[in-house]
Structure 1
């Protein structure tokens, strides 16, 4: 993967830009999600706390109303008289009961009002009480009850003529306004069911609940009816103590996280406690997460599309230029690339075109200079080398190698000696076919020692043409061309086949190899060079009159020119090649009989 990215500027830029776009988008999405979830949770908690405060205000109003009504009753003249008079007055009894009934009738939350005289007179009821659980509570909380001017009881059951009800009662003593003598007890009972309706009708979360806790940590109302009168710490052991007047807690209940909001009623020390399952936030957070994810994905897709389009637009000229340079054959003309922009990339391509033109001119000049230099060197070598001294020296090396039993060196030196003897044979231009074949075999033998196991060569020459005369040094350059440009560029072992046959008083020679072959463009280029050679010798047709072709295959062109000069147009080289298969070079010359002693 690392190498795959390293090989392409486009991939590296794509990865870099995508990282530069993706990371900020993901960071922004993460921060937005966290902010949204935090705001959602805060709003839910704030809404819950506002609901609790509304319930608190309503319950505080009820409590204050009951306490104000109790103050009115304990100071009411008729009640004072009735409680102070030891002889009960039926008219006064009926009048007081009517007053109590009128007060309680308009207030649904009042379940009963009871006045209990200490002088033995009949107890006053708004509703006849058949059984009450208040007396055991008075005994249980006697110290608290007697030391206070008013006392709110825990939840208990009150049975009246209207049925059984669970109530909370305000109990306070009735004293003589003059002597402060205790005349009786006033009990105002609140209907727990009516108090519970305040909690359920307040619009709390449907999956949560609100409960009312009294000053003794017992549940007065709300939640499951089985919890009534139980201690909060028994039902919710993880809740702990609520020391503040209001606040927010996170607790586990029934193996699920809950948010707990609480607000205290200062007048009594009662506390409203609301439970909200955390999954409510999670559902809302899930919606926020979905919207955020979809937004980020859409943004990423748009960003990726724009990035890829931008990179394609910027790097397309560079990619094409890279392909040109990658597939460039040093032996071929360097192509130019069309410039379509004037930015930095356009300037780079323009510089490449100028450089390619300059390289082509320098290449032509170097090749021409090298050809001229080689020609001069050969002429100088032929003029300076004493053939007899060279042959005698090689012969000495040959005998020394034989004496040292190094057969391969001896054979190689012998082949080189024969090769040079043939090449420097006093300027003679013609030889027999047998001598040309021997010269080619000596060259192949030397190259086989230099490049072992790289190629095999076979000669198939018709016996009838062995002593025929031909222009010398024709086959060796063709074999060299097959070896260098075909076989050595191939990983596997290659083969070279040299054929010679007679056809209608003509000798046809074929040099065939199994090398890499030539691409169609290169083959056309070589064929054009051969045609240009015809033109230069005055033997071409008018279609190539003004052709300008850079010569890249000097060995082949040289052989082609020599054939044309000595044998005419019909004897030139014919080149055919298939990529991956090999190359075949053919020429035909007239049959000439004769022997040459060299």
Structure 2
């Protein structure tokens, strides 16, 4: 029999697919292993080769940096220069010191390197005259003058942020490469270093400040990207991930993270004492060119194997699929509740036993389900009737006692109102023998009870109703609110003053939540625990348990009653039922 069901896959196809998967798994595994191994080897070889190249570049850059640092040492370690800088005499002595030593010293210092540098010395001594070659550097000094120097008073940089944040002096080691002033504008970078008084080993007071400026391009000109391979880019990246130099100028002043992605191999090499990294980006696509040939060969082998497997497994699976399809078709009818379907099968194998067992199962299941269902319905109806019958007499006894007292005192009007209220209450309660009533009827029922009690207690009983109109049309087990109002009056109120009760009903995600809130004497945690799990047959909280059991019996264990209470403050009863318009019978 043909089965047309969404998502259904016949057994024969599953058997066919299983054969194909079993055959293809070794081929695919070998192909994937070969491909990944080859790619890993290619990447590792490229990484090692590129790391060596970057190391050579790093060494070349480090050599240039060391050369400039060596130039700064010529000034830093010159005690005679330090003495001349600290010459506070004016007139001929200051002029002679400046002309005969300091200027020649600075000139010889910048000539001590073949690199194009700009030396700027800021003097703490105000007696030293300023010397500069341009009008306060309105243009790039490294373009205007090759290997020039200038002298300024320290006041020119005292307010600069980079100068005020310069690290504390560690003799002989404190220096910093940084873009300051107009360096960023002209593509320059400067070595910053103090000049200190070496004659006093304890204080090492600053007597001046050195700034040696050079072109970033001259430091990183060894980043010759064509030698590194097609598509490969090399960057010099600072601590903020800004690209300070690149093998292509278009990338300068951009951020490194803009160009990193999963399709690029990243190799990085730190530059010692320079707070920068050399980083190379190699497109993975270049490495995958050779690997694609292996991948294409693997695919061809897999396709050929797939064709052979389909033909071989198709013949085998067809032999079994016909028999299985008959069994599946009957099981499908059984699943839909049609146990009168039977299988006709001839054969001398295990399927004969399966067919016979299924036919017998269908016969027995029809009878068993009918018997179990009827028994279940009967049992639940008896339990509900028993619980329902137990809750009414208690209220009736108390009300009749009140009627008796009114008759004794001749309160005929109140007596008449109470009898009418009692009649209305039991008319709603009986409900033609039905267990379920609408939420609206349940609220009318508890309102009838409240009216009866207000006849008895007059204005000492204050009740407020806060009802969401959307819950009124849904069904509920009857008499689930009145026992809690009665419990509040009988046990939560000492009879003095007023007792305030508020009843809430609202919809919450497909559930109806009732709350009965009172300002009574409250209950302890132990008392609440004993209500739901009584010890030694205690009668405490019988009405509460009765309501909770009826709700769980009718709607399921996820619904029922919960209590929150504090002694001297009051009690909140929460009742949760499903928002349902028809009866639900839950199997126990």
TM-score for the superposition, normalised by structure 2: 0.37
TM-score for the superposition, normalised by structure 1: 0.37
Greater RCO (Cα-Cα under 8 Å, separation 6 or more): 2
Bigger radius of gyration among the two: 1
